[in-house]
Structure 1
């Protein structure tokens, strides 16, 4: 992907300044939190504070791409690791919530790119132990130690891939292939899960598989058109921007008809359902009715919310 387009778009959003201040910053501005409310009081919670700092450094100080990012261009994201079980011997089970946003051109609005939760996180961490990861050697000596960095690296590449997809056609493929490499070389062990096809139909394996599967190429068209032709145009031409998003709804309907249980659509709507409600709240009746019809059919969990659009009077999310 040509990162120059991304730079120019962010430069002119009007929400940042002094982009040339730092020219070699890493790609992510990740806020990391480690929560251990479910862990027994007998466990020394200090280790989780240390782990939180280590994970923040791992995500924010590592170079994940060959592109040069300024400080203002960094991708805003949140990683929340919720420790659910102490397995003993410095081993834990957890869930991981990952969120990422992208600035919309010429506005102060941040659109959600990703909002997902992974319930298959098991790892080993010894306090002050360095967090190491290499694309060339995903698994080190201990699979449970490697599983922690493999999972966080996987989602770092996913965040980058979705961000790049939103700025140029198929711009994220290089990062999705890096995520695929992690899946192909993932740790194995009795408490390790989420990396194999047979372990479920909504895990890291299937998400990566779908992102690079030609059957789901429309998803990448949607990511680009929705953000570049849709949201990024809304400040200058609301009608044109909304029309581009309607075209995306038609693409997603075709994708849904071919693959009703598609994990990519589920991921998309977890991030976009609220935004789509606001986009079409004040659309003309015929356009709104068409949006409600499509969205209610292809995003069934949020169908009631879309039906409420028929009487909605919300303000549009992006204004001049």
Structure 2
């Protein structure tokens, strides 16, 4: 039998001997230990959900960059009536574009005269160039370049109010997205003695030429600030001693019972459709409604703001005479 072990095919290959071998040093036992919970799909680099999350974040960043670039770029108001209205409202413009060969009428003549008297550059350009400048809008031969609005800091509004010698009166807009409503609120705020207006950074109209025109130029005289987080800003003002009052159809008091009007006050105006957001409503010290005739559901946001601000101004005049 010994000779059989030397036959080819009967010999065991070197290193294939069965039996005791060098141990693994416990590495296999450690490999069996748990490594914690499985990461979420979006946190796994090679998972499709992770790629989708990265793509969504990148798209959001690009949208933010485009929004900031649009806010920093000058705006072009196109059309004879809009241009004349902006110039009448003394909107700070930097250039008036007039198409070569345009048919002159009273509006064109008035626009050129106002621009020349205010030192605004009057530039004659080819109609094709004006088409490009206005983005293909119906310009009727006139375009007005308006620089981006310079917003104030919310912290500066209280300082300006303190310098006036009167109790602070501020107006905050919660989700008002129509620039015409924004302009009308700014106009009412200026008319009834408010010291400033604050807008949320997101989901809000900005001070465009439309808002300028609707405000009848008061946006140049009343500071408008932007708050990164409106709820947080309202809480900061509350800690500084201001009472926060929100306009709401189901308010705890109506405007006739607004006894907080004569003290330091913030009036919060909700959006055109849904009103005040939940967090802002919870931040308010009081919600105020406006009594209306039966059959009327609600008022426009800017009209409601004007009604309440007029009542605040009336009560403050009475308090000053007392």
Q: TM-score, normalised by structure 2?
A: 0.27
Bigger fraction of residues in helix:
1
Q: TM-score, normalised by structure 1?
A: 0.27
